[in-house]
Amino acid sequence: MIDLFSDTQTRPTAGMREAMARAQVGDEQSGSDPTTNALCERVADLLGQEAGVFMPSGTMCNLASILVHCRPGDEIVVDDQSHIYNTEAAGAAAIGGVSLKALPTRVGLFTLAQVEAAIRVPQRTAPRSRLVSIEQTTSFSGGTVWDIGEMRRIRDYAQARGLKAHIDGARLLNAVVATGIPAADYAAGFDSAWIDLSKGLGCPVGAVLCGTRDFVERAWQWKYRLGGAMRQSGVLAAAGLYALDHHMTQLAADNAHAGRLHRAIADVPGLGFDPTAGQSNILCFTVEGLGVTASAFAAACLEENVRVRAIGTHQIRVTANLDVDQAGIDRAAEVIRAKAASFAARG
């Protein structure tokens, strides 16, 4: 199986499993798990932040950040294709009583002008604009990389208006290897930011949320309330440390593989690509021109042991990851081309 459904499908490597087995452990809740503490310090330093907290998932990182920054009745500005808006079970609303203002975007990138228009004038009858969230890279929009200058302009404008600024950094490190801009530069000045360990880095679970020491202490309390506190979490944290030591170069390979796939299928009649496609490890394309649904196209590819993801009526997403090598990418390109030709022939 060539599994391009998501980079969350990766399995721990032999070296990672060995590191997990050797991990020194303690009690995370009392702050005495040395491996977890080392991971949090490592990621906080990577992002240029004061402190970090190990979370079971990126979804919890986002939710804890929202719950720290916002109060019931507040509103968050996000893009309409963001993970927070589409695939976090409405946690902000259900648990925090916080509403979302989803800005319309083409590839998950909103503009400063949109933010200026979205922030509400304080009044009794309206929610209070409280947080702006930027997803770097974009998840359901083709892995588009945010321009750091635009991120900073939005951050500064939001903070000047009394809002907090947050980075959903599930694939922030893919942007780092794509641009050469350090993670700390991307995260500088933001009120909270996190990276996922269970996507391109290949860990079985986990993410690290960072910010000021006060922010992290408050996020820790929400982590506990949400049931995310652990005991001997060093077994999991060891995987994160191993990944940061050994899998960062893999992120560059994943980006390159997505670009290779893009070049191999860009000329296929009936497939549609955005001009920004192929910037990182995610590639999106439409099959509307073939007169077929995305789910039917994905099912056809699966018949040839190539797994892609239907994320809309006609939109396909493929995600390069450490379990798929260059030969696998080339095979996936062959199958996609063949299936597209087959559907096109049916008319």
**Mean confidence (pLDDT) of the chain:** 97
- Give CA angle at 167 (162, 169), nearest 5°: 175
CA 342, CA 326: separation in Å to the nearest integer? 24
pLDDT of residue 141: 86
CA 92, CA 67: separation in Å to the nearest integer? 8
* Average pLDDT estimate for 179-193: 98
Region of 134 on the Ramachandran plot (φ > 0 left; ψ -120 to 50 alpha; else beta): beta
Helices (H), 180-247: 183-187, 213-225, 234-246
Pick the closest to residue 58 from 16, 6, 101 (CA basis).
6
CA 42, CA 64: separation in Å to the nearest integer? 20
The proportion of the chain whose per-residue pLDDT surpasses 90, expressed as a percent, equals 97
Tell me: pLDDT of 12 over 80.
yes
Residues 6+ apart with CB under 8 A from 201: 173, 240, 243, 244, 247, 248, 250, 251
pTM listed for this prediction: 0.95
